[in-house]
Structure formats: C-alpha cells, structure tokens
Amino acid sequence: MRLLVCGVRGSTPAPGPEFVRYGGNTSCVAVLADEDEAPRLVLDAGTGLARLSRQLGGAPFVGTILLGHLHWDHTHGLPFFPAGNRAECEVDLLLPEQGEDAEELLGRAFSPPHFPIWPRQLGDGWSFGNVKEGEHEIEGFHVLALEIPHKGGRTFGYRISDGTSSFAYLSDHSPVSFGPGPEGFGPYHEAALTLADGVDVLIHDAQHTAAEFASRSFMGHSAVDYAVGLGREAGARRVLLFHHDPPRTDDELDAIVEGFRSSPVPVDAAAEGAVIALA
C-alpha cells in the first residue's frame, strides 16, 4: 500500500512562498494498492484533490472518495477535479451517515446561491452515499470507520488496511471534548486508540502547538502533542502531523518536527506530493 499525499493544510488553503515545501492545499490523501496501480480510494476532497488529477495524467478517476466530514476544507476540491469530469469516470462519494440522503446533505452547501451547480451536475459518473460506523470493504481495502469528536458535524476517523500494512486517518479531532486527559490535550479515548492501534502511519490533526492550544481548542482541533501522544499510546510506528494551521510556515513546521526528535515514535509533518510506502 502506498499513500500519495495531495493536500495537508487545515481550514483554508495557504498559498505563498512560506508554504511551498509542505504545501498549501487542504486535506486529501490518495491510497494506492501498489506502485503500478492508479489510486482507487481517496480520503477527503480538499483542494489537494486537483493534484490527483495531475497524477492520473489525463485518465478518468474510477474509485471511491471517502469523506471524514463535510467541512469546506474537505469538500472544496470536488468540483475542481478534472479526473472526475471525464466521460469514463466512476466516482462513489461516501460521507458519514447522519440520517439524511447524502446528495441532499452535500447539496446544502453545494448549490446556488453558495455555488453555481448541484452535486448531481458533477456528471453521470458520480454517485453519492453514506458510510456507517463499523467495518467495510472498499476498493479492495479493509476500512474501519469510527466517530470521533470534532466541532460542528458528525466526523469519522478511518483505519485502512490491506491485510499487510495499515494507517489511520484522523484529520480533524477534538479529544478535549471528552475532558482534559493526562496532559490537558484530551484523553486517549477508545475510538482513537482503536483506529490507531499498531498502525504503520498515524495521520493526525496537528493544527495547534501546545502553547496555542488553551486559547484555540474551542475550534475543534488537536494539539501536536496529542497526535504524538496518541501514536505512542496506540503503538503506531510513525506519526505524520496533518491539517497544518494555515499560517504555519515551512520553517515553523520544521521547528515543530525538530522538537519531537527524541520522541519514541518517529514524527514527521505531512508534505504535499509525498509518496509514502507502507511496509
């Protein structure tokens, strides 16, 4: 299994020279079964989704886009996805089940006057559905979906496995909603531990530094220290900091990673364009 990191930023894109090394596009990670196959599973559809079209080199996308939740930074790439706008494309868009028709729910923010078109106008190749909590087989991968706390709308974290390797994806996570936990950044609760248990890579919300957290935790995101602590507690082999705060520059991200150099779990910051081969 390989991961193609297409977008790493949280909340809103971050263009500009201070952000070119880690990248300014919002959340999107494509999953490849192996080196020679086109990606068929994509997590989230932030503005990074455009990078996947370039990766496909003019071929249509055939596969599933799995959304963790419906905030703008995770959906804004959908109508700007050329690989999903070709005649032969087949795109199954799945969102966390919350008691409403998926297409209608998406259309609340994806329709005039908010946006020129409705979801169904993306093309005949698109379909819309819900994913429930629990275990699923999607595009040949084993997918565990569990609800995790975040602010404003039902949010799932995912654990993806191909039977050999695995990774967890908790892009937006507010564990402090369950209380302060051992270090003040929220408890290592059961859903988070289950998703991250022994994974090769834990991709986790790292929007705030510890110093910022007290004044900004109301926004529904994690401290970097929580992401690293969850990796440690769950026995993850590596932590990839994700959903970088929009103003966080490349140099600041370098400094954050450097600060965890002695961590028992290796820590890196997710960078757009990276290809991660899982053992």
Yes or no: say if 172 and 205 are a contact pair by the CB < 8 Å rule.
yes
Letters for 64-93 (x = contact with Zn ion by CB under 5 A, - = none) are -------x-x--------------------
| Closest CB to Zn ion: residue number | 71
Reference 91, options 71, 133, 134, 120; nearest CA is 120
Q: Which two tokens stand for residue 57?
A: 């080199």
- Binding to Zn ion by residue 44, rule CB under 5 A? no
> Cβ of residue 124: shortest distance to Zn ion, in angstroms?
30
Letters for 164-203 (x = contact with Zn ion by CB under 5 A, - = none) are --------x-------------------------------
CA geometry: angle 68, 73, 77, nearest 5 deg: 95
> Cβ of residue 88: shortest distance to Zn ion, in angstroms?
31
**Token pair 């003040």 in the structure block, residue:** 184
Reference 16, options 247, 176, 183; nearest CA is 247
> Cβ of residue 163: shortest distance to Zn ion, in angstroms?
29
Contacts (CB under 5 A) with Zn ion, residues 8-37: 10
Reference 28, options 205, 277, 275, 272; nearest CA is 272
Closer to Zn ion by CB, 10 or 84: give it: 10
> Cβ of residue 76: shortest distance to Zn ion, in angstroms?
11
Tell me the C-alpha distance between 277 and 225, whole Å. Answer: 25
By CB under 5 A, name the binding residues for Zn ion.
Answer: 10, 71, 73, 172
